[in-house]
Amino acid sequence: MTTISSIWMTSSKGFSNNGKMATAEQGIPPAKKNRAHERSLTLMVMGKVGKVRSFRLSRRLLFCAILFFAAYLPFSAYLVNRYIELSHRDETRQDKIALLEKELSRSANALSRSSEHILFLEDYIFQMKDRDEQASQPAKAQAKKADHVAGRTPDTEVQAKDQAMVSVEDLVMAKQGGALEVHFKIVSLLPRDTALGGYIHLTAKGEGGAGRPEWTYPQVKRVEGLPENFQQGLMFLIRSFKTMEGKLPVGSGPDAPTMLEILVYDQAGGIMLQKEYQIP
């Protein structure tokens, strides 16, 4: 009896073990797979009041962002340095261009002055040739020589006025402080292809007779109402016209000038124009 009981217990125990084994075999869970949230990083942010906020960040996205910034920072630094370098080069070139423009302007002015001197010399040579051709007439040559030395006789003035070689146009006079500023155009009345040169003297005259005050531009010594040396005037050389200007220090006292005289000489010293204008 005891033996049967032990056998039954053994068999029943084995049965129960087999059942457990079967149940265990049937209840084995499948292998776990990595989920998306398990491949991400969890970041937690704690606020001042103790609130904690968390969010997940993909490792792949973080890796790509790191690669992007690793490539972007050196490239942006290169672009900034390149921009600064090109800006510096551009400023240097602008400075060089400004200097070249100034030198070009100076060269153009020097060339213009040289051209004027050349035309003066050509005109002077042409006049000398005419004098040599007329040397066979002593009386006329002597009269011309006297006119050249004096340059201020009435006959010369009348002859110059009859020829009407130049005129003054667009005359503007303005008082600025103690100075009288004069602007005008000297216009050639000869054919356009003919070069005409000479010297201009400006004289501001006050009221009165022979002893009235006078102011000149350029400042020259005057003898008997005319410049002692006509070649000290403003030089001009024109084919059409040229804008001229002068500044006479007339002051602002009671002896202020009332008349402006414009005196134009040719290259030989003959008077081409002598005219007075009322100062406003």
Q: Is residue 57 part of a domain?
A: no
Q: What is the pLDDT of residues 63-83, one digit of tens each?
A: 888 898 888 888 889 999 989
Query: 128 and 180, same structural domain?
Result: no
Query: 87 and 192, same structural domain?
Result: no
Query: 173 and 104, same structural domain?
Result: no
CA 128 to chain centre: 46
| pTM exceeding 0.75 | no
Query: 164 and 93, same structural domain?
Result: no
What's the mean pLDDT in 161-183?
A: 83
DSSP string for 165-234 = -EEEEEEEEEEETTEEEEEEEEEE-S-TTS-EEEEEEEEEE-SSSTT--EEEES---EETTEES-GGGSE
Number of domains within the chain: 2
Residue 202 in this model has a pLDDT that exceeds 60: yes
Q: pLDDT-based confidence at 208, cuts 50/70/90? A: low
Strand partners, 236: 198
Range of the domain at 119: 64-133
Q: Is residue 207 part of a domain?
A: yes
Q: Is residue 147 part of a domain?
A: no
Q: Is residue 6 part of a domain?
A: no
Domain final residue pick, 73, 106, 133: 133
CA 243, CA 172: separation in Å to the nearest integer?
11
Q: Is residue 19 part of a domain?
A: no
Return the H-helix or E-strand segment holding 227: strand 226-227
Average pLDDT, rounded, for the chain: 75
Q: Is residue 32 part of a domain?
A: no
Query: 180 and 97, same structural domain?
Result: no
CA 199, CA 234: separation in Å to the nearest integer?
5
Query: 128 and 160, same structural domain?
Result: no
Output the six-digit token pair for 241.
Answer: 């016209």
Would you tell me how many other CB atoms lie within 10 Å of the CB of residue 193? Answer: 6
Query: 273 and 164, same structural domain?
Result: yes
